[in-house]
Amino acid sequence: MGKLALFSTLRILGNTMVVRMRHTHAHTANRRSHHALKGARFITCPKCNAKHLMHRVCGNCGNYRGREVVDVIKKTIKKAAKAEARKDDGNPEDTVPEAKAAKAEKKEAKPAKTATAKK
**What predicted TM-score, i.e. pTM, was given to this entire model?**
0.43
Q: How many CA atoms lie within 13 A of 59 on its CB side?
A: 6
Higher pLDDT, 96 or 45: 45
Task: Catalogue the E-assigned strands of 1-93.
Answer: 42-44, 51-53, 63-64, 67-68
> What pLDDT sits at residue 45?
92
At residue 39 the predicted structure's pLDDT band, cuts being 50, 70 and 90, is very high
Cα–Cα distance list, 105 to 87, 100, 102, 108, 110 (Å): 24, 9, 5, 5, 9
What pairs with residue 68 in β-bridges? 63
Q: What is the mean pLDDT of the chain?
A: 78
CB atoms within 10 A of CB 62: 19
